[in-house]
Amino acid sequence: MNFEYAAAPESRSVAKIDPVYGHFINGNWVAGSSHFSAINPATEEVLSSISLGTAADVDAAVKAARTAFDKSWSKLSGRERGKFLFRIARIMQERSREFAVLETLDNGKPIRESRDVDVPLAAAHFFYHAGWADKLEFAGVDTTTAPHGVVGQIIPWNFPLLMLAWKVAPALATGNTVVLKPAETTSLTALLFAQVCQQAGLPEGVVNIVTGDGSTGAAIVKHPGIDKIAFTGSTEVGKLIARAVAPTAKSLTLELGGKGANIVFGDAAIDETVEGIVNGIFFNQGHVCCAGSRLILQENIAEEVLEKLKRRMEKIRIGDPLDKNTDLGAINSAEQLAKIYQLTAAGDAEGANRWSPNCALPDKGFWFAPTIFTGVTQAHRIAREEIFGPVLSVLTFRTPQEAIEKANNTPFGLSAGIWSEKGSNILWATQQLRAGVIWANTFNKFDPASPFGGYKESGWGREGGRHGLSAYLKGAAK
């Protein structure tokens, strides 16, 4: 007898979406001059019409942020700043279901993830940073605790609300004001966040949200009235920004791409490891900079792990992201789906062995079945380039030293995973790995108190924890 799970859809009605949105500048809604569509990637329906930010819109936002910095925000004590952030955190918790449903509609990720991961973590980031606002002298960064002033923040589409929280919370806690541009395909939760700012009574101009595309982002990067830029996105765009900023005095932090190595030693606990592998690459459809996208298996357990992994993948439920039982949602955009097709085709062409479980994909929307490629070597494109989708490349190793070498053999350095039951082995491996975030016997764990960021081409700086504060304080460096 088969246990079929009936549809268990979360109701859409809790998320009210306006037909058209303007920018949020100086505490008010400002209509844009031209618009583009927000699309539900699971169904391709148009959700709303979003304003395309021009250089003039960015300029207005920067001016508002500067005035707010000079006249109100910098005049407040850390204690009062902190209380605004506490309010924001609490209101996000109060409206959590609204945020979760909206995030799923706009991004395509399963409701279970937006509800259980994205929204609670975003609120927690505000709660955590609220407590730092009046304790900066204890953060151990510098004895001067001055903010930069106006910061420009450009965030990606994979965790729209959470990435907003990672940027805005520390910026405000340290006394900066913000001009933020959400990603082109995921503006809606940022716009709802603007409402939260209003409900919290945040002074006008402290947070400004300008929606748009790459040109809007470029206008922010170029604006001379911005003191610091924070960017999360692809390494390619990160480098463009770094070049644009280099001749200026602007401060810059970057959180870029990765090709995380998930290393499984022969003494790993296999069932837990399989769960960790699945989480590492299929959580959020693999749209994760720190995804464990390279599985590096010790040869002596490779076959056993792969067999269990495939069996586990058969149980992954792909479908309507609003269904509470869905494990794998939609790919965020047609553009991203095309990239995934392109790289997986390269995998085939270069001789790797592709496998996916049989799963029915919906006809409308952007979908890709969970996929593994075995027989991959470091020389394959699918072992070097970030696919940013539910695609796992599987390599093997013989000795621990070889595992480390393969793991480090990449221009990226964001994350790594280690599966082993031996403590000394884990600690040795963490010493050798060139990665900013290392998970041992777990994966994809995030916390506002835990610093996150990469080595090498995965970026500059850390977000979260004590270490994350230094990005937003002027400090001694020029």
Partner 1 sequence: MLATRSIKTTSKAWAIDTAISMVDLTTLEGADTPGKVQALCSKAFRPDPTDISVPQVGAVCVYNDMVAIARQHLDAIGAKDLPVAAVSTAFPSGRASMAVKLQDTEDAIAAGAAEIDMVIDRGAFLSGKYIEVFEEIAAIRQVCGERAHLKVILETGELVTYDNVRKASYLAMLAGADFIKTSTGKVTPAATPPVVLVMLEAVRDFYDLTKVRIGVKPAGGIRTTKDAIKQLVLVNETAGPEWLNPSLFRIGASALLNDLLLQRMKISDGYYASPNYVTID
Partner 2 sequence: MGSRGWPPWLECLPEGSCKVSGRLEVMKTYKLYINGAFPRTESGRSYEISAHNGEFLANACLASRKDLRDAVVAARAAQPGWAKATAYNRGQIMYRIAEMLEGRSDQFAQEISLQTGATAKASLQEVTDAVDLLVWYAGWSDKLTSLAGATNPVAGPFYNFTVPEALGVVGIIAPKDKPLFGFISAVAPVLVSGNTAVALASSSAPLSAISFAEVVATSDLPNGVLNILSGQQSELAPWFGSHMDIDGLDISGLPSDQHGAIKEAGVENLKRISAFPNQIDMASAEPGRILAFMEAKTVWHPIGN
Q: Which among 385, 412, 405, 391 is positioned nearest to 263, based on CA atoms?
A: 405
Query: By CB under 8 A, what part of segment 98-137 binds partner 2?
Result: 124, 127-128, 130-135
Q: Which phi-psi region, left, alpha or beta, contains residue 351 (left: φ > 0; alpha: ψ -120 to 50)?
A: left
Q: From CA 361, how far away is CA 301, in angstroms rounded?
A: 32
Task: Tell me how crowded residue 466 is: count the other CB atoms within 10 A of its CB.
Answer: 14
Locate the DSSP E strands across 33-141.
35-39, 46-51
As to burial, measured by CB atoms within 10 angstroms (0-12 exposed, 13-18 middle, 19+ buried), residue 310 is middle
82-97 burial, b for 16+ CB within 10 Å, e for fewer?
Answer: bbbbbbbbbbbbebbb
Q: What is the distance between the alpha carbons of residues 240 and 236, in angstroms, rounded to a whole number?
A: 7
d(CA 214, CA 353) in angstroms, rounded, equals 36
User: Is residue 359 annotated as a catalytic residue, yes or no?
Assistant: no
CA-to-CA distance for 243 and 374, rounded, in angstroms?
38
Span near partner 1 by CB under 8 A; candidates 28-36, 136-144, 323-331, 358-366: 323-331
Binders of partner 2 among residues 23 to 82 (CB under 8 A) are 79, 82
Tokens standing for residue 149? 């002033």
Minimum CB separation of residue 124 from partner 2 in Å reads: 6
Judged by CB under 8 A, does residue 358 bind partner 1?
A: no
User: Is 303 one of the binding residues for partner 1 (CB under 8 A)?
Assistant: no
**How does DSSP classify residue 7?**
P
Catalytic (active site) residue 350: no
Alpha-carbon gap, residue 253 to 262, rounded angstroms: 26
Encoded one letter per residue, x for contact with partner 1 by CB under 8 A and - for no contact, window 243-272 reads: ----------------------------x-
Among 143, 247, 315, 379, interactor with partner 1 by CB under 8 A? 315
Residue ranges in 416-475 that form contacts with partner 2 under rule CB under 8 A: 423-425, 427-428, 431, 448-449, 465-466
Q: How far is the CB of 323 from partner 1 (least distance, A)?
A: 8
- Considering the complex, state which of residue 162 and residue 274 has its C-beta at the smaller distance from partner 2: 162
Question: Which of partner 2, partner 1, none binds 3 (CB below 5-8 Å, type-dependent)?
Answer: partner 1
Residue 131 contact, options partner 1, partner 2, none, Cβ 5-8 Å cut-off depending on partner type: partner 2
What does the alpha-carbon distance between residue 144 and residue 397 come to, in Å, rounded to a whole number? 48
- Least distance to partner 1, CB of residue 6, Å: 4
Least distance to partner 1 from the beta carbon of 269, Å?
Answer: 9
Residues touching partner 2: how many (CB under 8 A)?
26
Residue ranges in contact with partner 1 by CB under 8 A:
1-8, 112, 116, 271, 315, 324-325, 327
Residue ranges in contact with partner 2 by CB under 8 A:
79, 82-83, 86, 90, 124, 127-128, 130-135, 138, 140, 423-425, 427-428, 431, 448-449, 465-466
